[in-house]
Amino acid sequence: MSAPPIEQRGKLVEEVVVPAREARVATARAGQVLQIVDLEGQQVGDLMAYLTEDPTEYMSPGHTLSCLTKLMPETGDEVFSNHRTPLLRIVRDDVGTHDMIVPCCDPERYSRDYGIEDHPSCLASLQKALGEAGSKFAAPGESAWNVFMNNKHEEGRVVTHEPEHGAGAAMDLEVLEDVTVALSACPQDLTPCNAFNPTPMAIRVWEPGG
């Protein structure tokens, strides 16, 4: 059973609004709740996380799928690092569709697949935001978790569909280790990924209570 929404039982510590097509950084301590919010609906976020004290250990979608032995994390599941350390636990999920297979979009994606050389990308946005925050995390594209992404596995292929969730949809993640996180409000407007219309998101950090 899902935990009550953190808004009903916690104190908001920090809110970071992530503008459409950009990325922002926040930190959270073990015991807090990290909340990812889609402010306007049908938006995908690319989430990276790593140990604040050791940026060489980071959230790994591949290791998470291996530990969970399934393709889609669900409420109650932990999200693991590249050393199989549990970093986060899903305690509420309004959306329920996520992708941990496809790496985040990068400049080469737009160049190779669309012939566009200057399109914004999650990888570039995440690397810029982390750099501006002084992070030493290398931010490899395959370390991003595509939260709220409505990818389906159809006859051996990964097919992207428009997200079905609305404004205010959120996911609450119990923080198991002190982490620094970066979230990109994905700029993809050439596929159904964000319903062809990228919009802003938010990172909220809560202190649970009661």
pLDDT in tens, 28-65: 999 999 999 999 999 999 999 999 999 999 999 999 99
pLDDT-derived band at 4 (thresholds 50, 70, 90) equals confident
d(CA 152, CA 139): 26
How many domains would you assign to the chain? 1
Domain span at residue 100?
Answer: 8-208
Instruction: Work out the number of other CB atoms within 10 angstroms of the CB of residue 59.
Output: 24
65 beta partners:
none
C-alpha triplet 185, 60, 106: angle, nearest 5°: 40
Residue 210 confidence (pLDDT): 56
What is the SS3 assignment for 192?
Answer: helix
Residue matched to tokens 């097919």? 159
Q: Is 197 part of any domain? A: yes
What lies within 8 Å, CB to CB, of 15 at 6+ separation is 202, 203, 204, 205
Of 35-44, 83-92, 154-163, the one with minimum mean pLDDT is: 154-163
Determine the pLDDT at residue 169.
97
- 160 pLDDT higher than 60: yes
pLDDT at 3: 63
Q: pLDDT confidence of 119, banded at 50, 70, 90?
A: very high
Q: How confident is the model at residue 201 (pLDDT cuts 50, 70, 90)?
A: very high
Residue that wins the pLDDT comparison between 71 and 182: 182
Using the predicted structure, report yes or no on whether residue 189 has a pLDDT greater than 80.
yes
Alpha helix (H) residue ranges in 30-160: 61-68, 107-114, 122-132
pLDDT at residue 2 in the model: 57
In a domain, residue 2? The reply is no
pLDDT at 126: 98
Please check whether residue 105 lies inside any domain of the structure.
yes
> pLDDT category, 182, cuts 50, 70, 90?
very high
Q: What is the mean pLDDT of the chain?
A: 95
Q: What is the pTM of this model?
A: 0.95
Q: Residues 155, 31: contact at Cβ < 8 Å?
A: no
In a domain, 3, yes or no: no
* pLDDT tops 90 at residue 125: yes
For position 155, what pLDDT does the model report?
83
Q: What single-letter DSSP state applies at residue 7? A: G
Please determine, for residue 158, whether its predicted confidence score (pLDDT) is greater than 90. Answer: no
The average pLDDT across 133-156 equals 93
Residue 46 lies in a domain: yes
Tell whether 167 is covered by a domain.
yes
pLDDT given at position 5: 82
> What average pLDDT score do residues 82-101 get?
96
Q: Could you tell me if residue 55 is inside a domain?
A: yes
Q: Is 1 contained in some domain?
A: no
Are 165 and 148 in contact by the 8 Å Cβ rule? The answer is: yes
Q: How far apart are the first and last CA of the chain?
A: 18
